[in-house]
Amino acid sequence: MPPFRVLFIATVFCLLTSTASTQVEVLNETYRNPGKTSVKVEAVFAPSAQQGSLPFRVTITNQSGKDRTWEVKISDGNSYRTLSTDITGTISVENGAVVTRELYLPIAPLFTTYSYHNTKVEVSSSGLGTLSRSVGHETNDDFPTVAISKVLARRSLSDLDDHVQNRSPSDTRFALPYLPEQLPVNWRGYSALDAIMIDHKSWKSLEDAQRRGVLEWVRLGGRLDIFTTEQPPNGKKLTVHELEIEGVQQFRRTPSSGRFSLGQIHLKNWDGDSLDVSIVSDYGKIQKTPRRSEELRNNFGRDWNLRREFGDKKFSPAIILIPLLIFAIVVAPVNLFQFAKKGQRHRLFFTTPIISLAACLIIVAIIFLEDGVGGKGYRTTLADIQSQSGEMRLYVTQEQVSRTGVILSSGFKSDTEMVMDPVNLPPSIFNPFSVGSNRTTDYYFSEQHYDGGFFRSRSEQGFSIRTSQPTRARVEIESTARRDSPPSLVSSLPVAISAFYYRSDDGKIWRAPENTVVAPGSPIPLESADPDEYEEWLKTNSVTFSQALANRIRNLGQDQSRYFALPESAESFAVTSHPSIRWAREPVLLTGLALNPNPAAGNE
């Protein structure tokens, strides 16, 4: 065979191999009758993760001769795990059409499960039977969940994986490879990741919806690393502003990196060939790449201020044991020797059921009086408004703890697309996820329905919730500060605000005077404020959040053109979960970048 043909075949084989390894094919079946009707389910990154939601691409080809609807169920877990999850979606396909749809499977966080996951896919359609397949996957224990684009992974991933495995036997890989063209359009599809690595060419080739999805995930705490082979002219250093992503706050000491709300964006240089294994240490440092699974495990214990304010509830066994002891005395000796004496034993057939029913009613009454109906909770919310014309989104990060009494339905329905991760509350008889607990829980997701053991009777629940929503709310700059005069700002927020701080582009701090309430649509009166006072105020109003989130909020205070405010009402910003929970305390910290609709006029 001619050498050039050998080289050509080898090249094609390498490309096919690298492409095939970038996604996990969970199911790929063609129905025998009718032929050419097929279903394919692929995991974009992997079929399992340490937390968050994973994206699956479902592609259905309908050549059955009529329009059909398929039901797709993807589940993760088994009967031996504390928490198992599954999602069900319906996909309608016209005859002769091919439809591809994304489904996002919520994953149980690592503290409720094992590093080895078993994912099962079931696909059914009336008259065609059920297709089913399972696949196993091992996640990392200590290394973050990183995704790497095909180009970056091609010559580097094998060596990087080996380096991570040599560092810790509990970690199986450096990163999960992916095809950029298959990246999700919804930010929830990235929520299981701690970081994304992508080459600059692939980044520029993404569709607008995909790029928006990635950036929304970064706003909520993700890390995006973009690798470029381009060298700045005249020996200048790379700056993150070269990416032309509006709203990035460049770091002073490392201009190639910047803060993007709660997340970070980095522009990195590489030779276009391979990545050095030294990059592993960069991602392995939790200060640079925070692991959300670790935060869910370690940041919501007894040092979490909101949980400490919420308090503990002690279980008194005497409340139940005393009625049971009285029941035992009445149903046996009293019943036998008093109600159904010798010669009247036939009365046992109705005295025993009456006594048992009375005892049950008394115990139920005690439980209702002790625990009540519904539940009580505390929640704290960070609402980040990004009102730029190409974005106009409200990013909500909410942490909540609640305790239920008698709940008639443990599930609920929400109109909000969100990722709702359970957090590791302190050990308690009411906490189903306590270490050593033998209670198992299932979460079921279908469209906007959240069913299963989310809010079970007589239990404690803690959740970290993230969501991205469209908004028209904003704080607008009418004119910037000149000399010692304050800038002119107008509130177009949906609620009145009772406190306001603003860091202008020149680094000066301004605040609304004390006891000022600014109504929607009104100008915001401002006066000069001391930077130390501003930092202390921000620290005071972030203490209800978990430590990791509170630290990120205080870092946001360094952003130019960023404001912080306290709204008079939480209703417009807090995410609703179970309707039976009464939120006794719900502080909201509102923040965002002030919008300058006419920068040139504002700088006059």
Indicate which CATH number applies to the domain containing 98: 2.60.40.10
Number of domains within the chain? 3
Please identify, among 258, 291, 324, the residue that sits at the C-terminal boundary of a domain.
Answer: 291
Please identify, among 72, 104, 138, the residue that sits at the C-terminal boundary of a domain.
Answer: 138
Query: Residue 599: what pLDDT?
Result: 58
Measured CA distances, 433 to 156, 424, 437, 461, 463 (Å) = 39, 7, 6, 9, 12
Stretches where the chain sits below pLDDT 50 are 1-20, 601-604
Domain presence at residue 321 = no
Query: Residue 397: what pLDDT?
Result: 98
**Contact present, 440 and 79 (Cβ < 8 Å):** yes
For the CA atoms of the chain, what is the radius of gyration? 29
User: Which pTM was predicted?
Assistant: 0.89
Question: Is residue 130 located within the same domain as residue 246?
Answer: no
Domain presence at residue 322 = no
Query: Residue 369: what pLDDT?
Result: 64
Give the Cα separation of 167 and 174 in Å (integer).
Answer: 11
Question: Is residue 375 located within the same domain as residue 450?
Answer: yes
Measured CA distances, 101 to 61, 72, 84 (Å) = 12, 11, 23
Query: Residue 447: what pLDDT?
Result: 85
Question: Is residue 486 located within the same domain as residue 394?
Answer: yes
Please identify, among 273, 291, 309, the residue that sits at the C-terminal boundary of a domain.
Answer: 291
Can you name the residues that pair with 468 across neighbouring β-strands? 395
> What string of DSSP letters covers 302-336?
TT-HHHHHH------THHHHHHHHHHHHIIIIIII
* Residues 536-565 pLDDT 10s: 999 999 999 999 999 999 999 999 999 999
Query: Residue 319: what pLDDT?
Result: 66
Question: Is residue 92 located within the same domain as residue 186?
Answer: no
Query: Residue 387: what pLDDT?
Result: 92
Domain presence at residue 309 = no
- The 3-class secondary structure across 50-114, one letter per residue, is CCCEEEEEEEEECCCCCCEEEEEEEEECCCCCCEEEEEEEEEEECCCCEEEEEEEEECCCHHHCC
Question: Is residue 195 located within the same domain as residue 99?
Answer: no
Question: Is residue 398 located within the same domain as residue 536?
Answer: yes
Query: Residue 528: what pLDDT?
Result: 93
Question: Is residue 197 located within the same domain as residue 249?
Answer: yes
Domain presence at residue 56 = yes
Domain presence at residue 420 = yes
* Residues 303-319 pLDDT 10s: 999 999 999 877 666 66
Measured CA distances, 102 to 16, 87, 91, 157, 557 (Å) = 24, 12, 10, 26, 37
Question: Is residue 271 located within the same domain as residue 385?
Answer: no
Question: Is residue 27 located within the same domain as residue 101?
Answer: yes
Domain presence at residue 249 = yes
Assign 199 to helix, strand or coil. Answer: strand
Q: What percent of the chain has pLDDT over 70?
A: 91
Question: Is residue 489 located within the same domain as residue 441?
Answer: yes
Question: Is residue 164 located within the same domain as residue 68?
Answer: no
Query: Residue 374: what pLDDT?
Result: 84
Domain presence at residue 443 = yes
Query: Residue 12: what pLDDT?
Result: 38
Domain presence at residue 230 = yes
CA-based angle 262:264:270, to the nearest 5? 170
Query: Residue 419: what pLDDT?
Result: 96
* Residues 379-427 pLDDT 10s: 999 999 999 888 999 999 999 999 998 888 899 999 899 999 999 999 8
Enclosing domain of residue 207: 159-291
Question: Is residue 100 located within the same domain as residue 168?
Answer: no
